[in-house]
Amino acid sequence: MADRDRIDDILSAVGYGRWQIPILMATIVANTIPLHYMASSLLNAPMSFRCFAPGSSNSSNSSFSELDSLDNAWFNNECLDPQDNAHLADSAHLAHLAHPALNPVGPPNRRATGLPACPEIEYDSSVYSLTVISEFDLVCDRERLRPFFQIVITIGTIAGCFVGGSIGDSMGRKKAMQIGCLLGLPSCLAVAFVPWFPVVLALRFAMGISVRMVMLSTINLAMETCPPRHRTVLGMFMGLPYSACVILFALVGYFVSHWRYLQLIWTLPYLVMTPITLFVKESPRWLVQSGSGREAAAELAEAARKNRVELPSRLASYLEKMKEDTCGLSGGEKEKVAQKQLFAASFSSYGEYLRSPAMLIIIFITPLMYFLMCLLYNGIILNVNNFTSTNPFQYIAMLGVFEIVSVLLATPVNQLVGRRHVIGSTLLLAGALFLAVMFVPEEIWYVKWALVMISFFLAGGGYQVVFMYVPELFPTMVRTKGFAMVTLAGSLGQCVAPIVTDLLAQQTWWAVNVSLGCAGMVAGLLVPALPETKSMPLPETIQDVEDRRNNNVQQRTEKHKKALTVTDLQHSHV
């Protein structure tokens, strides 16, 4: 019996109980932290504005015909020509005489910006009281800086993939969680107070590193300590806390329209997560693979004791054998041995991975699929201000509701038909529906809403299955690094999403639908190249990955032969 099967047997005997409660709590809280990714849909939301020349009246840059309608002409989002500012200032007095009602003396919301194309500005505060864009005047000359509030945190997640993957596989899942929290908590708090935009961006970068470190280590720890029979349910339900917090975020954002207060409120997950990391246990799988068999045996024995389970004699004897891996070494010596082994393996194993056909498929296909999926998923979320500027809170809340329903429905389907069928079909159909939105007339807006929500419903279900599926593809010793590599590609997709939904959307009306729709469809077409992992033990080595691929090929061959046999019999009867 392989080691992975014995560990799975021990976990199956131990079951899910008191020993996993701290890990479950950490998993629930950790899955609310990624809300900082989509928070920019409210924190960095654009506000309608009106530019004024220095010293001009409130109507200085409007023609008289425009001013006949307040609804259409007041906040026109138009920048000024710097060369015309002097002329506009001279004509301000005439405009004031023609439309005195539109020009109260000393408007309280108007301020200087220092921008040549918008020297003075007034924002429409009917939806938001203050956002990042309105506080730092990211309009006109500074308009290209708008996506960076979202981009820097995703760039941070790219760095977090390298840092978190390395720490998680070399120092352990628990230490990676703790380091991520110690980095993220002060960064998240500081963003709510610093008055300089470059510093805000630097802190958002640090938050991105933290979020990725916490997520990578927590998900791997949860999956590696879960009995095989509960792994699918746990992997699927990990996304529910995030979806619930999306709804809560929209509700809080409706009442708290100041971006700094909203940012401050959303430091709570870090405040809760940090003390929880003191009580979680290290992954026995990682301890065994890093040469710390004694600690792994102690963890599993404690798990059986806390869950009030008595292990069978064959499993108890395996725990005794497990202790021999580091017998006679002190804690410091043991750690040095493990680090040397990991350091040497990190170089010698790369060539082995590239020589493995099964690993090559996973290494090249999975990141591309994840990149496209994250582009679609995050693009739909960030598209809120293009899709509806009047009720963004309802849009975000509905996304959260639809995602919860999609996860609940996808869970039993995932258990019945497997990972690949769910992921491929949902992403393919989600992309097709998002493309279809372009062809719906504006007057039947409710059809547009339905198509967008159904598209996100499908993408949300597929996204959660992928989040559980990816760690199952990689062997234990590189599971965190492999997951980090794939999520790095997803971070690139998250970087592209605000560029598509903000800058590119201003250039071409169809850019968002075509980009996101095609991304979903291509991602769905890539999935059949990957192996199925349903009801299979987590692989420990490259050979396990190869064996899984061979078993899948063999099963498909047998099914094909059976289908041919049935067809031949039918033809013979005819």
Query: pLDDT by residue (tens digit) across 91-111?
Result: 443 343 333 333 443 455 788
Classified as helix, coil or strand, 305 is helix
- The helix (run of H) or strand (run of E) holding residue 141 is none
Instruction: Check: pTM over 0.85? Answer yes or no.
Output: no
Q: Which domains does the chain have, with CATH numbers?
A: 3-45+147-529 (1.20.1250.20), 49-124 (no CATH)
Among 263, 346, 260, 329, CA closest to 294: 329
- Better-predicted residue by pLDDT, 437 or 102: 437
**Strand partners of residue 51:** 121
State the pLDDT at residue 332. Answer: 45
Classified as helix, coil or strand, 49 is strand
Does 190 have pLDDT greater than 90?
yes
Q: How far is CA 64 from CA 57, 95, 203, in A?
A: 13, 8, 46
Give whichever of 43-47, 208-212, 286-290 has the largest mean pLDDT. Answer: 208-212
| Residue 114: φ, ψ to 5° | 80, 10
Which amino acid, 161?
A: C
Over residues 489-524, the pLDDT tens digits come to 887 888 888 888 877 777 787 888 899 999 999 999
| Average of per-residue pLDDT across 510-539 | 87
Residues making up the chain, counted from first to last: 574
DSSP 145: G
Bridge-based pairing of strands 118-123 and 110-115 is: antiparallel
Reported as a pLDDT band with limits 50, 70 and 90, residue 192 is: very high
State the pLDDT at residue 367. Answer: 92
Reported as a pLDDT band with limits 50, 70 and 90, residue 5 is: low
Does 55 have pLDDT greater than 70?
no
Q: How far is CA 349 from CA 172, 341, 343, 544, in A?
A: 19, 11, 10, 15
Residue 11 neighbours by CB under 8 Å, 6+ apart: 225, 226, 227, 228, 300, 303
Reported as a pLDDT band with limits 50, 70 and 90, residue 60 is: very low
